[in-house]
Structure 1
Amino acid sequence: MGKFYSDIKKYKKYSGNKLAIVLVLSHQGLWALCVYRISNSIYNSRTPRFIKQLLLVFAVIWQKIIEILTGISISYTAQIGSGFYIGHFGGIIINASAIIGDNCNISQGVTIGVSGRGEKRGVPVIGDNVYIGANAVIVGKIVLGDNCVVAANSLVVSSVEPNATVMGVPAIVINNNTSKDYI
Structure 2
Amino acid sequence: MSYSTIQKDFYRESGRYLSGLQILKKCFSPNLHYIYLFRKAQKFHRTPLLGLLYRLLLRHYQIKYGFQIYPETQIGEGFYLGHWGHVVINPKTVIGRNCNVAQGVTIAQANRGKNKGAPKIGDEVWIGPNAVIVGHIMIGSNVLIAPNAYVNTDVPSNSVVIGNPCTITARATATEGYINNKIDIQF
Q: TM-score, normalised by structure 1?
A: 0.86
Instruction: Please say if 1:108 is aligned against 2:103.
Output: yes
Q: 1:94 aligns to what?
A: 89
Q: Distance in 1 between matches of 2:6 and 2:13?
A: 11
The RMSD of aligned alpha carbons is 1.9
2:33 aligned counterpart, secondary structure? helix
Aligned partner letter, 2:6: F
CA distance in 1, matches of 2:26, 2:9: 11
Q: Residues of 2 paired with 1:160 and 1:124: CA distance? A: 11
Q: What residue in structure 2 maps to residue 24 of structure 1?
A: 27
AA aligned opposite 2:127:
I
Using the alignment, how far apart are the partners of 1:93 and 1:110 within structure 2?
6
The letter of the residue matching 1:82 is E
**After superposition, what is the alpha-carbon deviation per residue over 1:134-174, rounded to whole angstroms, capped at 9, x for unaligned?**
00011100011000000000111001000100011121213
| Pairwise CA distance, 1:59 | 3.2
Match of 1:181 in 2: 177
Contact conserved, 1:35 with 1:59, CA < 8 A, in 2?
yes
Deviates more, 1:125-134 or 1:28-37: 28-37
Which stretches in structure 1 are left out of the alignment for 5+ residues?
none
Cross-structure match for 1:37: 39
1:119 and 1:159 map into 2 onto residues whose CA distance is 12
Structure 2 matches for 1:8-157, cutoff 5 A? 8-13=10-15, 20-25=23-28, 27-43=29-45, 45=46, 51=48, 55-118=50-113, 120-157=115-152
Paired amino acid for 2:39 = R
Q: Is the 8 A contact 1:129 1:179 kept in 2?
A: yes
- Distance across 1 between alignment mates of 2:9 and 2:41: 16
The letter for the 1-side match of 2:128 is G
Q: What does residue 2 of structure 1 align with?
A: 4
Q: What is the TM-score normalised by the length of structure 2?
A: 0.84
Distance of 1:127 and 1:152 partners within structure 2: 18
Letter in 1 for 2:27: V
Offset of 1:62 from its aligned partner? Answer: 1.4
Structure 1 residue 107: Cα displacement: 0.5
Structure-2 separation of matches of 1:119 and 1:157? 10
Percent identity, aligned pairs only, is 35
Equivalent residues of 1:106, 1:131 under 8 A apart: yes
Q: Decide which structure has greater helix share.
A: 1
Q: What is the rounded CA distance, in whole Å, between the counterparts of 1:58 and 1:171 in structure 2?
A: 41
Any conservation in 2 of the 1:32–1:74 contact (CA below 8 Å)? no
Asked if the contact 1:110–1:133 (Cα under 8 Å) also holds between the matched residues in 2, the reply is yes
Q: Which runs of 5+ in 2 are unaligned?
A: 17-21, 180-187
